[in-house]
A and B are shown apart, each in its own frame.
Chain A
Amino acid sequence: AQTVTQSQPEMSVQEAETVTLSCTYDTSESDYYLFWYKQPPSRQMILVIRQEAYKQQNATENRFSVNFQKAAKSFSLKISDSQLGDAAMYFCAYRSWGVAAGNKLTFGGGTRVLVKP
């Protein structure tokens, strides 16, 4: 079974600065998907960014980018030019490639991001 680990329970960043959230995962599969979700105080789960494991190029979405290291099984999220609205819980998630896996998302424990004005 796959596992996802987020080793930083909480991170603090100054507004306009950059913060990097760590995520490592354990899998024996070669094809899979990785995601970062944001959960603000409203509790809504918002997809921030996704990465297909077969793609070597790191995904980017505006101020959000990832550093995907397949061999190291690492998938970190970088938030640039942090804004007050970025304050939230962030979850890293893994999804297997095949339909037989049931489309399950396996989540890490989460990292809370605090943004200081």
Chain B
Amino acid sequence: EAQVTQNPRYLITVTGKKLTVTCSQNMNHEYMSWYRQDPGLGLRQIYYSMNVEVTDKGDVPEGYKVSRKEKRNFPLILESPSPNQTSLYFCASSPGQVGSYGYTFGSGTRLTVV
């Protein structure tokens, strides 16, 4: 089954404790991206990657890191989480070429930072 797999689904952590949210896709997509969802703001892009070793900032990158060492994986790293990073996070992927492709989204990670 074609899918984007995110883990964990829920995570509660304390301020300052480094964490990683994993994302993996099995569709050989070039493009992967991380979004955060907050009430009234919709989804906002954090980081994206056009291919292996190619990453760039989205609209809200502060406090986050990413890496793309393999085509299928795109982990999101919070080096020192803060309460304002409490949110619902989505990983998404799509084919790299231009087209009217929608995205395939992961099932989301609900992160709470206390």
Which residues of A does B touch, CB under 8 Å? 4, 6, 9, 33, 35, 37, 42-45, 47, 50, 52, 91, 93, 97-99, 102-105, 107-110
Contacts and interface: CB of A to CB of B under 8 A. Distances in A.
Given A43-B110, A103-B96, 9 more contacts: A35-B102, A43-B88, A43-B108, A47-B102, A99-B98, A102-B48, A105-B35, A105-B103, A107-B35
B82 interface: no
A33 B31 CA distance: 17
A52 B44 CA distance: 22
Interface of B: 31, 33, 35, 40-45, 48, 50, 56, 58, 88, 90, 92, 94, 96-98, 100, 102-103, 105, 107-108, 110
Contacts of A52: 100
